[in-house]
Structure formats: structure tokens, C-alpha cells
Amino acid sequence: MPYAAGSNMSKHSFFCLSIFLLPFLSCAVEEPAAFSVYGSGAQLIAYSKAAVAGTINFKKHDKLEYNFIPGSESFPLASLEIEYSFSGIPSGEILHRCQLVFESEGEAWLLPLDLAFVKADAGTDTVFHYAIPVPHSSERRFSISLRPLPEGSPVYKPPSSEPFVFQIHSLELKGRWFGFYKNTINGKGHVFVSPFVYAREGEGLVSYLIDPPADPGLSAFYMPVPYNKALTNGEHYATLSVDRENVNTVVLFGEKRITALPAQGGILIEGVFFPEEPFPIVVSGPVNGLELRYSIMPLFPRPIAADPGLVLQFQPEKWRDRRYEVFRWDRFPSLLIFDTADYAVQSRLFKRLAFFVEKAGFRGRLSTDEEIAELHGWNAHDYKADDLAVFYETARLEDFPLLREEIELREILLSEGIIRTGSDGQFLGSSGGIISVSRESPAYLRSLFMAHEGYHGLFFIDGDFRDFSRERWASLPRQGKTFITSYFDYQRYDIKDEYLMLNEFMAHILQQPASRAPVYFGETLPRRVEAASPWRRPALGEKDEATNSYPRLASVFLTEAQAFTAYVNRRWGLSGGRVWLVQ
């Protein structure tokens, strides 16, 4: 079949047959179709009894003719999705000698009779949804008819003992999409598929391609994507989602390669991350479906859904605002990620929050710009919903003058449901939180900060993760706890806040791979403490003068790093030093 791997015919000749249509013949019947037509106000006028019923008996070779009148929905690029099934069991001869052809406005499309390449064959237990790309959302005439294959051969006439009937169940105009996916609805298998999707095998691996043509004759069917420029609010672009198994998956956009590491669940790649020439899009590895959908760029500062690995790669030249860009963590949508152009922008957004939420001697009160001007905040940030709400509620009650960026942040938090307002106008925490990194950090620190802050975000939203961290903290040997508490005190954290201590303990361990824990906790941090605060030396324990390190600390925190890494890998497919799946 043309939509399966191994076809020896031109894929474009199968999916878009350039033919001239004969004028529609007048029929005695002209009434609404009996099957469902979705969309507000949409109508479908049928021109025969068979068309009203939406059936073609393969023995009678009926031709169904319609006039589709769309409702209020309108799409810049659309797909007309036909839901249909077959009754009776088709023979291989039917599948090889007959074809169902959809014709409209000078173009023709083959309706699949089977979909073996997505492991869904025709039969009484399969319902097909075929999304035919159409260039506009206006009124259109179309027909569906049975034709011989190959051209010129007689139409196959099955015997009476082998009835085979095509049945339309519904029609719906939707936004343009390409790909395939499967679902079970009311106990029956449903397969959603479009043209320009193919399967191929090589070296024991199945790959799927999405490759719409870009030639002038079919330009209306091409999906535009904004490339290599700053995004414009409301601009059209594409989104690729892949429903995959728990294995390594490789996505190729022309010359660009994106690897998605093994984990449960799918992956989502917004069109803003596509290269200039994305087609063909090739997805290698076991997948249950893939969809390229037509979308509209959200108005800034509405977040762009993204894996943290894509956030690290995204170039500031494409940002919607030159100061910062806002993303939503695709796997954990209650967490927002802010990437800032530099530390100055980041400070205007978060510095006062850092002192209010975390800094000893400042917590719980709003510091003036002059008071903290010469003090260091952080080079990366994380805040949970409740703390954000308390910060803004305090500012409201005190009528405190906030910076422009702090007000923008408040409006983003309200819009995205991280904080909310109560009946008397007070700010309340809702769910989730925010994390932030900056472009001013060098690449190796951006990765480390993204891991550190990302794990803070997961700590905010996941009770089981917090419980696990609390268990590890409770069982931490005394020397390890004494040292890390002294270090956090040196860093000006409020060590009396147990929640804060648990959160920082976990994040400092998981911000790098477990293999680096002995050096980081046995050498790097102790030397930093020794140099800045010699009086804290007793908290470090026994030193190995030959190596200038603290072997006991190295051993204790290696054990912790291995335990935490095993947990996050089992839970989310993550690891020490990595909160992203896409790289």
C-alpha cells in the first residue's frame, strides 16, 4: 500500500493524484448526511441515498457525492478528517486491486484500506480517521468512489459470500496535522493517520518519516515553521509530539539531530526548536504514534512548552523578548523555566525574592533596592508557589514599590495558575513553582544550574520525592550532616528551616553525576569553606594531608549520590546532573 514501507511507487503519486474532476451529476436526493458532522454549525449535504448513509458496497461500486459547509471554525491550514470502517472481512485480492478515492477541487487522495505499517489492519475492530489536508476552511464539493488498481484493470467483484462495505461514521474539519496515532474508544481500536507519513526498516530498526511536499503545486499543503528569527506573537508554527516506548529515540530534522533518552511517556518538540529545513522529519525507534500539528505562537509571556535540554539550546536571537524567555517544563507543566539574558535581568526579577525566601537575616521581609544593592543574590533561582504568594501578598499589604519585572512576574504567575487571588484580593499559593538560569553563566554552569534548580522544582511538586529526601537526611551520618549544615550556613541559607535544608541537601547532591560526588564533597566544598571561614575547620572532620582531601566526606556523599541517582532514574528516567530527556 502507498502508506506502508516498501512501496515501489512515487509517494506523491499515491497521496495526491492530480486529476481533473468531472462535473458533479445532479441527483434526485439532496439532504443532510445521516452520520455525524462535527463543528459548530457545520453541514454536509448528500446527493444520493448511499451518500446519505455514507456507505459503499464493494459489489455495487457506489459513488458518494457531498457538499461540505463548514461552521464557525476556521483554520489557516486545515485537515478534513473522515472517520470510517469496513464491515466484512476483505480478501487480499480486494486490497490489491481496489482503491477508495477522495476527490475535491482538482485533487484526489487515496483512503487507506489497511494500515499495516502502524500494526492496524482493516476489519470489524478497527476504525480509521484519515486527515486529508485542505488549503482552506470554506465550502467545498467532494466525492468518494471505488476504483480499480492498477489503472485499467477491471473492478474486482467479490462473491456474495464475501460482503465488504465501507461506512463513514463522521466528518470533521480540524487544524492541519500530519502523522499517526492509535486510541481505544468504546472498546474499538481507532487509528488516526494522515498522508505524507511513511515507515521504513533498516538494520533491524523501524523509522517513521513525515515528509509533506514543498513543490509549488502542493505549496498549500506544506506546514510553515518560523526559522532563524525572533518569534512573533500569534505567528503560526508546528509542534511535533512522539508517543514512544521506554527506549532511546532519535529525531532527525533535516541535518539537526535530537536524542530523547529512555523514560516513560512521550516527547514534545515545539516548532521554534526546528531547524530551517526540517523535512523530512525522521523518528527512529519503537513509537506508538507521532503528530506534527499546526499551532499558533502564544502571546508573550505565555510559556513555550519545552524539555529543559531544549531550553539550554534555544538561542536568544529567537526569544520573543530580548530580556528573558519563559518556558513550561513539558513533563511537569506546573513548573515554569525563566532564561534571562544576563544576571542583571535575573536580579530584577528574582533578587528581592531570594532574600525574602532564603537569606538568613532577611527572610520574611521586603528589602529595599538600596539595602541589597551590594549583596549577592543567586546566579540561578527556584521558588515554590506558596512562597511566591507570600512575597506578593506582603508587598500588597505594605504597598511596597516593586520593580517592573517583579510586577511582570506576578502577572505571569497569576496567568499560569501558580498563584491566585482570594475573595478579598489577597494572593494565595496554588501549585507548582518557577526556576531560572541565565545566559550570562558559562555553558557548563548553565547545565549544572539547570539540574540543581530543576530538582528543586521536582521537590516542590512531588511529595514522594520530599519523603525520600527526608529519609536520606535522617539517616545521613553525623559528620556528613555537620559538614553540609555548616556549608549552608556559610552560604547564608537559613539553616533553621528544615524544608530548605532538605531541598538544598538534595539539590547539591543531584546537581552533578554521582561519580563526581567524592571530589565535590571531599575536596571542592571543604577547600572553599577552609579558605573563607577557617574557624569552620572542625566541621570538616579528619583531613588526609597527603591528598588535601576529606575521605570520610567523600565516602558519605558518594553513597548519598548513588541513592538519589537510583531514585530519580527509577522514577523519571533522570540522573545526577541531568533533568532533561532531550539533548
Q: Please say if the pLDDT value at position 582 is more than 90.
A: no
| Residue for grid cell 544576563 | 342
Q: Which three cell numbers stand for residue 296?
A: 499558533
Total H helices, total E strands in the chain: 15, 29
pLDDT at 272: 82
Length of the chain: 583
| Least reliable range by pLDDT among 8-22, 52-66, 69-83, 419-433 | 8-22
Q: How far is CA 171 from the centre of its chain?
A: 28
Distances (CA, A) of 121 to 84, 87, 100: 13, 13, 16
Q: Look at strands 267-270 and 197-202 and give their pairing.
A: unpaired
Q: Please say if the pLDDT value at position 540 is more than 50.
A: yes
Q: 115 falls in which pLDDT band (50, 70, 90)?
A: low
> pLDDT digit string (tens) for 520-533?
999 999 888 888 78
- Which long-range contacts link 535-541 to residues 24+ away (Cβ below 8 Å)? 536/486, 536/490, 539/482, 539/483, 539/485, 539/486, 540/483, 541/479, 541/482, 541/483
Residue 415 Ramachandran class (φ > 0 left, ψ -120 to 50 alpha, else beta): alpha
- What type of residue sits at position 429? G
Range list of β-strands (E), 285-344: 287-296, 304-306, 324-329, 335-340
Cβ(65)–Cβ(51) below 8 Å = yes
Cβ(64)–Cβ(144) below 8 Å = yes
| Residue for grid cell 537526611 | 473
| Least reliable range by pLDDT among 23-37, 144-158, 166-180, 249-263 | 144-158
pLDDT at 138: 84
Burial per residue of 128-148, b for 16 or more beta-carbon CB atoms within 10 angstroms, e otherwise = bbbbbbbbebeebbbbbbbbe
Q: Which three cell numbers stand for residue 22?
A: 468531472
pLDDT at 199: 83
Share of the chain above pLDDT 90, in %: 49
508-517 average pLDDT score: 96
Cβ(164)–Cβ(88) below 8 Å = yes
SS3 content of the chain, % helix, strand, coil (to 5): 30, 30, 40
**What DSSP string runs through 300-311?**
TTSPEEE-HHHH
pLDDT at 224: 47
Q: 258 falls in which pLDDT band (50, 70, 90)?
A: confident
475-499 average pLDDT score: 90
* DSSP-assigned beta bridge partners for residue 128: 84, 191
Please tell me the distance from the alpha carbon of residue 85 to that of residue 516, in angstroms, as a whole number. Answer: 58
> pLDDT digit string (tens) for 397-442?
999 999 999 999 999 999 999 999 998 999 999 999 999 999 999 9
Distances (CA, A) of 98 to 104, 112, 452: 20, 11, 60
With residue 67 as reference, give the H or E element that holds it: strand 63-69
Ranges of each domain in the chain: 11-195, 201-311+318-324, 312-317+325-460, 462-583
Q: What is the rounded average pLDDT for all residues in the chain?
A: 84
Query: Could you count the other beta carbons within 10 Å of the beta carbon of residue 314?
Result: 18
- The full 3-state SS of 543-571, as one line of letters, equals CECCCCECHHHHHHHHHHHHHHHHHHHHH
> pLDDT digit string (tens) for 157-196?
555 555 678 899 999 998 888 999 888 888 788 889 998 8
CA dihedral 484, 489, 491, 496 (to 10 degrees): 100
